[in-house]
Amino acid sequence: MFGTSGIRGQVGEEVTADLALSVGRAVGVDADRVVVGRDARESGRLLADALTAGLRESGTDVVDLGFAATPTVARSVAWEDADAGAVVTASHNPPEDNGIKLWQPSGQAYDSPLQDLITERVREETTDLQPWDGLGERERRHAEEGRSSEAHRRHLDALVDAVELSGSLSVVVDLGNGAGGIAVDALAELGCAVETLNAQPDGSFPGRPSEPTPENCETLAATVAATDADLGIAHDGDADRMRAVAGDGTYLSGDVTLALLARAAASEGDSVAAPVDTSLAVDDHLAAAGIDLVHTKVGDVYVAERASEPGVAFGGEPSGAWIWPGETLCPDGPLAACKIAALASERPLVDRLADIETYPIRRGSVETPEKGRVMDRVRDEVTDAYDDVTTLDGVRVNLGDAWFLLRASGTQPLVRITAEARNEQRCEAVLAEARDYLDAAIEAVDGA
């Protein structure tokens, strides 16, 4: 039921009001108070109502934030002395999708044991429904006309308190018609001159697709390059992700952004958590400062789990999820926007990019309806053939000057391939090596 970042799927197919009701009932078995919010998708209104109904049927009080960024909801769990938080969102997915993310009081997403518990309760229809006089209350905390909500204000104060800018910046923020408007407010309070793109919340995402990829951020990059802006910021639909553009219009890759933010957050002897598909460029940039990179499974849930451990100063995913455990264990896109603005105010991002050596990296995928059996075969063959193999998430082979990863997609009938080396020729050779193992495994499974 849960993927790498909550429950997610097409509305009317995988995600229905019935599912939201069941999840509300499952969470309500042992939660007395839950914070609920949603992104701009129109389907979110009915799904949030169904989720809230399931909670209240269980005697659980609901703090209803209405339209809010995911990190605002996640932070509000502790502020409201609640037992859990729930956001109705499909994050960066297209408008036909929606989903549910669940949060702990620490700001961390539900980890694997909690996900398994909720899944079992939904499957077994385990509930604790209350009689008419035991239903939970619903307290609406929506923003009043012309005013921000209390949750918005508290999050805004936390963002402004978390950073200091060395000088004023000109920043262009592309909200992607999503819930990240708090980033604009925070940057303005920090003294930045802010211009916006796609600032009107709209769950059909008319301005650009919700995921802030290089292709989807071309207008942002062009705007920054054509003006005197120092920085560009892009968020996804629920603002848990942040991507950046340097003052010359260069879109920062996820690995480069990870290297920049992690190096600034960590000190010598600290560790940084990042998934197994992270570039060698991050390892090298951090190692130069005596900072260790520790790998996790792919997914911000797993990065947050590792970031909660002592000695881990930062966690990040190249996809755009960034976690400062001293602030919150939720990926907070607006916080990341403020953090990278602080870096840009001290030294232009264009200059900082020159400090990070990047390497050829290739990513691809192969369709197979038998991805589980294929990966079992790959794991056996690769483990026998190489000395340095990790199976934390898929099969990752460390070749010293290069690496490759074969990993089943969590949501599609695909096996993903990633290969990286410190020169182009070696990268292509390693990619071909990985592809040979995958092709052989698919052939063996198909012929079985």
Residues 133 and 194 in one domain: no
Query: Which among 353, 369, 399 is the end of a domain?
Result: 353
Domain for residue 2, yes or no?
A: no
pTM, rounded to two decimals: 0.93
Residues 127 and 261 in one domain: no
Domain tally, the chain:
3
Residues 224 and 332 in one domain: yes
Specify burial of residue 35 (Cβ count, 10 A radius: 0-12, 13-18, 19+).
buried
CATH code of residue 27: 3.40.120.10
pLDDT of residue 425: 96
Residues 117 and 201 in one domain: no
Query: Which among 304, 327, 353 is the end of a domain?
Result: 353
Query: Which among 119, 140, 161 is the end of a domain?
Result: 140
pLDDT of residue 206: 97
Residues 92 and 223 in one domain: no
Domain for residue 145, yes or no?
A: no
Domain for residue 339, yes or no?
A: yes
Residues 368 and 348 in one domain: no
Residues 132 and 47 in one domain: yes
Q: What is the pLDDT along the chain (448 residues), one digit of tens a residue?
A: 887 778 999 999 999 999 999 999 999 999 999 999 999 999 999 999 999 999 999 999 999 999 999 999 999 999 999 999 999 999 999 999 999 999 999 999 999 999 999 999 999 999 999 999 999 999 998 865 445 689 999 999 999 999 999 988 999 999 999 999 999 999 999 999 999 999 999 999 999 999 999 999 999 999 999 999 999 999 999 999 999 999 999 999 999 999 999 999 999 999 999 999 999 999 999 999 999 999 999 989 999 999 999 999 999 999 999 999 999 999 999 999 999 999 999 999 999 999 999 999 998 899 999 999 999 999 999 999 999 999 999 999 999 999 999 999 876 789 999 999 999 999 999 999 999 999 999 999 987 6
Q: Classify residue 150 as left (phi > 0), alpha (psi -120 to 50) or beta.
A: alpha
CATH code of residue 385: 3.30.310.50
Residues 49 and 83 in one domain: yes
Domain for residue 297, yes or no?
A: yes
pLDDT of residue 448: 67
Residues 382 and 348 in one domain: no
pLDDT of residue 413: 87
Domain for residue 206, yes or no?
A: yes
Residues 197 and 322 in one domain: yes
Q: Show the domain range for 408.
A: 361-447
pLDDT of residue 147: 52
- Of residues 22, 58, 91, 271, which has the active-site annotation? 91
Residues 301 and 197 in one domain: yes
> What's the CA angle centered on 341, arms 337 and 347, to 5 degrees?
150
pLDDT of residue 143: 67
Domain for residue 1, yes or no?
A: no
| 91 in catalytic set | yes
Residues 241 and 369 in one domain: no
